[in-house]
Structure 1
Amino acid sequence: MQHPPFRPFETALDRDRALLLLQAATLGAEDGELFLERRRSEMLSFDDGRLRTASYDASEGFGLRAVRGEASGYAHSSDISEAAVKRAVETARLAVAEGGGTLALGPQPTNRRLYTDADPLAEAPFALKIDTLREIDAFARELDPRVVQVTASLAASLQEVVILRPDGTLLSDIRPMTRLNVSVIVEENGHRESGSDGGGGRTGLAGRIERSSWEASTREALRIALVNLEAEPAPAGTMDVVLGPGWPGILLHEAVGHGLEGDFNRKGSSAFAGLMGQQVAAKGVTVIDDGTIPDRRGSISFDDEGTPSNRTVLIEDGVLVGYMQDRQNARLMGLSPTGNGRRESHAHPPMPRMTNTCMLGGDTAPADILAGLKDGIYAVGFGGGQVDITNGKFVFSCTEAYRVKNGKVGAPVKGATLIGDGPAAMKQIRAIGNDMALDPGIGNCGKAGQWVPVGVGQPTLLIGGLTVGGAGA
């Protein structure tokens, strides 16, 4: 599969003409921008001993927005031309036709770069990518005769973004992304279980296809599958739960993070609305959203409105101190944007979104936290979940969990689900480990039909009084 060389973002659209059109669209508005995007992506999947999927996609386009008050006019097209932008101006102006607004000051540009601008798709020959996936399949089967199926996938993309502001400021960013994932299914005495592992981030492809990297992921996927093969039915009832570090932060992301996005709080639909400055979590709990961590999946040099990414403290020592903001919601709330205005593509308007959302570590050794658990569950891995943002109620399924009694980690359990609500769970945190870790770089977040890459993280936590759904009593 041959790809065309990736050149600097070139279009038939003249910058000066584009600026005049953008200024016409935002006349009498309070904000707006012209967002141009060019994206290429590749995904290869090796399943059950053969190449199952090899896909390549290329797209480009623009989105033009004019904002006044709560109204926002947005138009987009895959045709980057002056004629298409002129048509977009007519649509965007419908939201600001009455005028009367004054343009807000634009974001301060940044030269900071948090990741490479190299093209990961061109970093390795197509044949080498296929050979890597084939080696993963063979390696997994050699590790254990109980392996009956292996699925390995390799994905890479490169997104180039150009943002033109009404004041003439032009910002550009090149955003790479790579990911490797390995899943295995094992069978013993007619019983099958699965496990998966992988990692990703805004890095080149070389690190993903190194043997040491994919061997580690393959071994971990197999370990999880074998653990689940020995698992007993999970108990059911209200009990204390210890969450492991890293990826279990997805529960924090969903049950708490969305409720701290500016739009939900401005509209009063968040469980945290109106609680600024109040104690919303246990003492010692500090939650941040940090889009400035180099090479991380959720990191961005600047957001999709041009605001530099930021390290935003949301909860400090249990007290609500901040929200994640885009420009529109920040302006309406009389606050400052935090670099969280994100969009899936040029076909989508920006909104407040998380980047890398983490709970900082405490001072308790993880072993001591587990030793203090008298009767409960130790949840290490999570799969899918559902959350109601208005009240924070969540249901999450565990992919790896263990029964704990009198401080001793016992048999693995399967079929465990954790049920609760975010605000209450935050107040029931009884111990915070000193082992804060970030996830391996596999997160995607959905909101209002848009998906963006994100990161999560947390230390080992003890949360009291969660409802565990399971098969046992």
Structure 2
Amino acid sequence: MTDALFRPFETALDANAALSQLQTATAGADDGELFLERSCTEAIVFDDGRVKNASYNGSEGFGLRAVRGEVAGYAHSSEISEAAIARCVETARLAVGEGGGVLADAPAGTNKKLYTDENPLDGIAFAAKVDTLAEIDAFARALDPRIVQVSATLSASFQEVEIMRPDGAITRDARPMARLNISVIVEDQGRRESGGVGGGGRYLMDGLIDPNHWQPMVREALRVALVNLDAVPAPAGIMDVVLGNGWPGILLHEAVGHGLEGDFNRKGASAFAGLMGQQIAAKGVTVLDDGTIPDRRGSITVDDEGTPSAKNVLIDDGILVGYMQDRQNARLVGVEPTGNGRRQSHAHIPMPRMTNTYMLGGDTAPGDLVADLKDGIYAVGFGGGQVDITNGKFVFSCTEAYRVRNGIVGEAVKGATLIGDGATAMKQIRGIGNDMALDPGMGSCGKQGQWVPVGVGQPSLMIGGLTVGGSAT
């Protein structure tokens, strides 16, 4: 073992002393770790022709955890020192009590490298980033005189983690992230509408500031805004819906994905609890959570407990075959962890979380799905949504949607919301497109106050009998 535990931090922390304190905290426990983190983030917001905000934030710290049964003792500090760790030992041990547990084996190692370990905040001068945002603004305004406002945000982060186990094993991971968001507001005859696009992943900024990348994004944002400029009020009622591919997978993420996380199912709080091996979706529906896709926003080489990420099948041909597990919940139900133990930062305890969650494609052309829609909605883009885990009920707002009658795509509609429950919606899938796509890399998932980056994806889908909220027809 090296003398300096956290080498990226250049912190004078003796590894043997830190290990001794960790072993004291976890004596008699089932599990535990010392999670050390350093992170930095940068964001530049260019709005209405000028830099509106530029921010940089750096932080570091550790979290010390001891687990026994269903109880976890957790303490954290932004001061990485032997004294700070010693202060946290007593708090962590509250979960252990008199002990008696058998310490779980450490996660298996991995030689995978899913993304670069370079810092995306480096390499491009601040002035060059601002110049790119100014070029985006000028390019957008030159496209259409109806554009009255342009907003563009370039952001990046770099997280370095080290996870020490009580047996002395250390797992390290360096996690880059870069992202570009663009939105425009158009005005015509006193009516204003907006359109936005965004995306990124675990890579450097070079590709994001290339005009060949951001010019199509600007055009797409403008297209969505102009579509909404001509949109009419959405109908209301129960009708069939065709969802577009890619980002509309956020509905799958919320309505089904959260319900397949291990903690909710162990506690019986999920609408899918106790249904392992049963048909919970239509035939042909196969859903995976895959943290191993290179460079994707939701990918992780290892999770925040040190378990290598995996490609986990959750639903196979409509049958529930797996849940997403962290180490604690997996141990309590007698299965293996799936590499889904994630946390927002060192100040947060890990829990089962999604990575990249998506549905596999079918064999139907997307156009045929729409052609089969007699009277309904074709929903291409989604904004915010929410779900009740206990019953799977969801509500999603559409950012781009169209009315369909007798298989013909008609006018764009505004204000449409999709309402239903995940368990029913999955069984009412009537057609699966052959155009599976992942989202462009813009998802962030909230759970119990913690936010982590995620990915979603799906093919075009026809779902029968969803409630569409809008204005009365």
Provide the TM-score with structure 2 as the length reference.
0.98
Q: Counterpart of 2:321?
A: 321
User: 1:14 and 1:442 mapped to 2: Cα distance?
Assistant: 39
Q: Counterpart of 2:87?
A: 87
Deviation at 1:427, TM superposition (A): 0.1
Q: Counterpart of 2:130?
A: 130
Deviation sequence 1:148-184 (CA, Å, 0-9, x none): 0000000001000000011111010100000000000
Deviation sequence 1:98-133 (CA, Å, 0-9, x none): 100000111001121100011110121000000000
Deviation at 1:216, TM superposition (A): 1.0
SS in structure 2 of the partner of residue 135 of structure 1 = helix
Deviation at 1:400, TM superposition (A): 0.2
Q: Counterpart of 1:254?
A: 254
Q: Counterpart of 1:3?
A: none
Deviation at 1:83, TM superposition (A): 0.3
Q: Counterpart of 2:73?
A: 73
Deviation sequence 1:390-434 (CA, Å, 0-9, x none): 001001000000011111111110000000000000000000001
Matches within 5 A, 1:373-388: 373-388=373-388
Number of aligned pairs? 467
User: 1:50 and 1:18 mapped to 2: Cα distance?
Assistant: 48
Deviation sequence 1:8-45 (CA, Å, 0-9, x none): 23212111111111111100000000000000110000
User: 1:278 and 1:222 mapped to 2: Cα distance?
Assistant: 45
Matches within 5 A, 1:2-401: 8-401=8-401
Gap runs ≥5 in structure 1 = 1-6
Deviation sequence 1:413-457 (CA, Å, 0-9, x none): 000000000000000000000100000000000000000000000
Percentage of matched positions with identical amino acids: 75
Q: Counterpart of 2:4?
A: none
The aligned amino acid for 1:159 is Q
User: 1:414 and 1:59 mapped to 2: Cα distance?
Assistant: 42
User: 1:329 and 1:301 mapped to 2: Cα distance?
Assistant: 21
SS in structure 1 of the partner of residue 121 of structure 2 = helix
User: 2:111 and 2:36 mapped to 1: Cα distance?
Assistant: 19
The aligned amino acid for 1:182 is I
Deviation sequence 1:64-122 (CA, Å, 0-9, x none): 00000001000000000000000111110011021000001110011211000111101
The aligned amino acid for 2:264 is F
SS in structure 2 of the partner of residue 109 of structure 1 = coil
Q: Counterpart of 2:450?
A: 450
SS in structure 2 of the partner of residue 152 of structure 1 = strand
User: 2:225 and 2:350 mapped to 1: Cα distance?
Assistant: 39
The aligned amino acid for 2:62 is F
User: 1:55 and 1:472 mapped to 2: Cα distance?
Assistant: 45
The aligned amino acid for 2:34 is L
User: 1:70 and 1:314 mapped to 2: Cα distance?
Assistant: 24
User: 1:13 and 1:424 mapped to 2: Cα distance?
Assistant: 53
User: 2:472 and 2:406 mapped to 1: Cα distance?
Assistant: 19
SS in structure 2 of the partner of residue 122 of structure 1 = coil
User: 1:372 and 1:14 mapped to 2: Cα distance?
Assistant: 67
Q: Counterpart of 2:432?
A: 432
User: 2:288 and 2:377 mapped to 1: Cα distance?
Assistant: 26
Deviation sequence 1:262-308 (CA, Å, 0-9, x none): 00000000000000000000000000000000000000000000000
User: 2:111 and 2:53 mapped to 1: Cα distance?
Assistant: 38
Provide the TM-score with structure 1 as the length reference.
0.98
User: 2:284 and 2:319 mapped to 1: Cα distance?
Assistant: 9
Deviation sequence 1:207-258 (CA, Å, 0-9, x none): 1100111111111000000000011111110000000000000000001000
Gap runs ≥5 in structure 2 = 1-6
User: 2:71 and 2:79 mapped to 1: Cα distance?
Assistant: 25
